[in-house]
Amino acid sequence: MSSHRLEIRVKPRPGLLNPEGKAIHHALAALGWAAVHDVRVGKVIYVDMDADTPDAALVEAEAMCRKILANPVTEDFEISLVAAEGGVPS
């Protein structure tokens, strides 16, 4: 058993309206960043867990995403293993 850190990126599904991104895009444009043509907002979730192997941790993380971390109707997800030193990045 060893400790693993997973970085889970929950992303808004393409094609759906992303209101947060739209509002931020507008704000950036108003502040002078006219070169921006789209903004979409998701979230990053860090999970530190014990598993026998990194692959086993990945399998569990995928299950977590399907069950609760991502809304399958409106969100996609990507999972990577990242180096863990100290606590969750601040």
Helix (H) or strand (E) holding 46: strand 43-51
Residue 87 beta carbon to other proteins: minimum distance, rounded to whole angstroms: 18
Distance between CA atoms of residues 19 and 46, nearest Å? 24
Q: By CB under 8 A, how many residues form the interface with other proteins?
A: 21
Strand order across the 75-82 sheet? 43-51, 2-12, 75-82
Quick one: which of 8, 18, 61, 64 contacts other proteins (CB under 8 A)? 18
Binding of other proteins by 59 (CB under 8 A): no
Select the residue interacting with other proteins from 67, 86, 87, 90 (CB under 8 A).
67
Distance CA(87)–CA(90), nearest Å, equals 8
Q: Which stretch binds other proteins (CB under 8 A): 3-11, 18-26, 47-55, 79-87?
A: 18-26
Decide whether 16 or 59 has the Cβ nearer to other proteins.
Answer: 16
- Torsions phi, psi of 27, nearest 5? -65, -40
